[in-house]
């Protein structure tokens, strides 16, 4: 039976989600990849143990994470039940609904029927009475925003979620949603969006500034650009890389000569800082205090330990930030 490291809170930093009382670890673990039924269950367990032993209290899921959809929740639920349940009150579990999950007209989107049914299914797979954060996973222009936000509020009123979040929203839509949720007295605490050195979308669409103004938090997913912001591709594409073995989220065509030159220029900045490219990329996302936590993915425990080294990274100088922008944006 797993017994957690007694020193697990010694080095991790925890930050409030905006103005709320909820704290997230600076580094959280995302279960988007490598927790489905095609992955090793023993490896999943060891990654969860490594994360929690080092102060990562937040585990992030969605109804469709797998493959197959639902399998990541089911596998994590088994780990919770068999190994981690004694620590449930020290663990923050989040899940989402919004993308296609089952056949027919009620299996995706933002309708009240879909969201509340999906949450019930997620709780069953996880073996929990409630999740800590329940997100709407993407904007749905075909459903009135009032209906979607009302469903999130109902999830909290029913006791099946403690807080709610929004994922993949833009600034103006988030602001409208925030006003609705505030009127419903629903604790909306967190936005989850892709954000990394190459992807500045939340700066361009107003989400980052609007979140800070509204007193909510941000958690960044894919902070390493699916592996581009690591040393993995500095010398070309390895045969065992995700580009060659999966290809759903990172394709060989993404690795142009121009992109490789940008990655190498960023690696030069990282080397001069005395750290890896991945460590620098994670620190960049967290650089200004607006992003509450960064979601890492991993395929083995050692990657989690390597990414946790961001906790010791030095602040950036303005010259370093300028060089990063020059390399990434041209």
Whole-angstrom distance, CA of residue 165 vs CA of residue 144: 17
Tell me the pTM. 0.95
Q: Would strands 293-296 and 27-30 be described as parallel, antiparallel, or unpaired?
A: parallel
Q: Judging by beta carbons within 10 Å of its beta carbon (0-12, 13-18, 19+), is residue 145 exposed, middle or buried? A: middle
Q: How far apart are CA 198 and CA 329, in angstroms?
A: 7
Judge if the upstream peptide bond of residue 68 is cis by omega within 30 degrees of 0.
yes
CB 221 within 8 A of CB 33: no
14-227+288-315: CATH superfamily: NADP-dependent oxidoreductase domain (3.20.20.100)
Residues in contact with 40: Cβ distance below 8 Å, sequence separation at least 6, in sequence order:
none
Contact call for residues 182 and 158 (beta carbons, < 8 A): no
pLDDT score of 122: 99
Q: Are 276 and 306 in contact (CB under 8 A)?
A: yes
Return d(Cα 1, Cα 17) in angstroms, integer: 33
The pLDDT of residue 237 = 72
Indicate the DSSP class of residue 82.
I
Per-residue confidence in pLDDT tens, the chain, 330 aa = 899 999 999 999 999 999 999 999 999 999 999 999 999 999 999 999 999 999 999 999 999 999 999 999 999 999 999 999 999 999 999 999 999 999 999 999 999 999 999 999 999 999 999 999 999 999 999 999 999 999 999 999 999 999 999 999 999 999 999 999 999 999 999 999 999 999 999 999 999 999 999 999 999 999 999 999 999 888 877 766 655 555 555 666 778 889 999 999 999 999 999 999 999 999 999 999 999 999 999 999 999 999 999 999 999 999 999 999 999 997
Summarize pLDDT for 98-125 with one digit per residue, the tens: 999 999 999 999 999 999 999 999 999 9
């Amino acid at each position: 039976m797993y017994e957690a490291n007694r020193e697990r809170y010694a080095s991790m930093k925890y930050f409030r989600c905006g103005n709320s009382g909820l704290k997230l670890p600076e580094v959280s673990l995302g279960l988007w990849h490598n927790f489905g039924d095609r992955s090793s269950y023993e490896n999943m367990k060891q990654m969860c143990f490594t994360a929690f032993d080092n102060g990562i209290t937040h585990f992030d899921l969605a109804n469709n994470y797998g493959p197959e959809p639902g399998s990541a929740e089911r596998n994590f639920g088994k780990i919770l039940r068999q190994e981690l349940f004694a620590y449930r009150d020290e663990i923050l579990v989040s899940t989402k609904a919004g993308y296609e999950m089952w056949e027919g007209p009620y299996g995706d989107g933002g309708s009240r029927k879909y969201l509340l049914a999906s949450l019930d299914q997620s709780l069953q797979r996880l073996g929990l009475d409630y999740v800590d954060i329940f997100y709407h996973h993407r904007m749905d222009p075909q459903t009135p925003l009032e209906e979607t936000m009302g469903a999130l509020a109902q999830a909290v009123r029913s006791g099946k979620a403690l807080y709610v979040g929004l994922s993949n929203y833009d600034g103006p839509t988030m602001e409208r949603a925030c006003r609705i949720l505030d009127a419903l007295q629903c604790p909306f605490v967190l936005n989850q969006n892709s954000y990394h050195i190459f992807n500045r979308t939340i700066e361009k669409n107003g989400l980052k500034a609007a979140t800070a103004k509204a007193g909510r938090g941000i958690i960044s997913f894919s902070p390493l650009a699916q592996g581009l912001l690591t040393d993995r591709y500095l010398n070309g594409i390895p045969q065992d890389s995700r580009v060659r073995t999966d290809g759903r989220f990172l394709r060989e065509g993404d690795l142009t000569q121009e992109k490789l030159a940008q990655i190498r220029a960023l690696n030069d900045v990282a080397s001069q800082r005395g750290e890896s490219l991945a460590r620098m990329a994670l620190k960049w996302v967290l650089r200004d205090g607006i992003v509450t936590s960064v979601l890492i993915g991993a395929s083995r425990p050692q990657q989690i330990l390597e990414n946790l080294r961001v906790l010791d990274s030095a602040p950036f100088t303005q010259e370093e930030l300028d060089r990063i922008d020059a390399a990434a944006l041209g």
